[in-house]
Amino acid sequence: TRTKCGSADVNGQYEIKLDRLPPATEIQYLARVGETSTASLTFRTMPDRPVPMKFAMFADAHNVEENLRKMSDIALAENVDFAIGVGDLAGEGLPEEYDITFKGWQDLGSRVNIWAVPGNHDEKNIQGYFDAFAMPHGNATEPGYEEGWWSRRVGNVWLGGGWIRDFYLSMPDSDWGQVGWFRQQFQTEEFKTAKWKLFFIHQPAYAVQWGSECNFDGEDCLKVAMVPMLREAGIQASFHGHMH
């Protein structure tokens, strides 16, 4: 039995880091604040070897609790190993909207890891997004923005989470910002030895017939900077939201 304590942040949220947990193991836990406690819950730790896995992907939920609960129920029924939220999880990026998002996700989020990338609606209050989520850190140059992009190796899968921001000003061979950081990750053993290499970002580089006048064909900056970078690195699939 282990106990880990932490203090609430300015939004009343708690972030607790657990280390040295055995891989691919069912962990029983509960969370308690004062006299208020959850029921006994369980989650599975990630595998440390190549095994078949399933994941769920959510997009453009806009903090609609009913829809999030439906998606969570489907993911749990499919026995997914982790989930990715591909942006626009809120409407205006307000703390109370993320409270609703997490309430809709609570059955799934208490069971498996849920990672996320910011969408254009989350960008309306990007600090609110960073305050709400506990993500791997990728941006090492801007304090407070460390969670803007990230990567994570899970079993035989490499996952990358991006943010459109730097792509507006980048080329595929840029050595600064997000593009430079991902190019560094592509040289690591974690990336090179992964069987599957997947990338997640909110906006699509290509789209067909979307918008009131059907004139949106994707984000030009991603066509220029992201797609060549991912192709050169050998990314097998890129996943997006934004299109509803």
pLDDT tens-place string over residues 162-185: 999 999 999 999 999 999 999 999
> How many Å is the maximal CA-CA distance in the chain?
59
pLDDT tens-place string over residues 81-132: 999 999 999 999 998 999 999 999 999 998 998 999 999 999 999 999 998 8
If we measure between CA atoms, which residue out of 114, 131, 74, 132 comes closest to residue 200? 114
| Average pLDDT over the chain, rounded to an integer | 91
Whole-number percent of the chain with pLDDT over 70? 97
Q: How confident is the model at residue 192 (pLDDT cuts 50, 70, 90)?
A: very high
pLDDT tens-place string over residues 109-121: 989 989 999 999 9
pLDDT at 195 over 70: yes
Who contacts 164 (Cβ-Cβ below 8 Å, separation ≥6)? 120, 201, 202, 203, 219, 221, 222
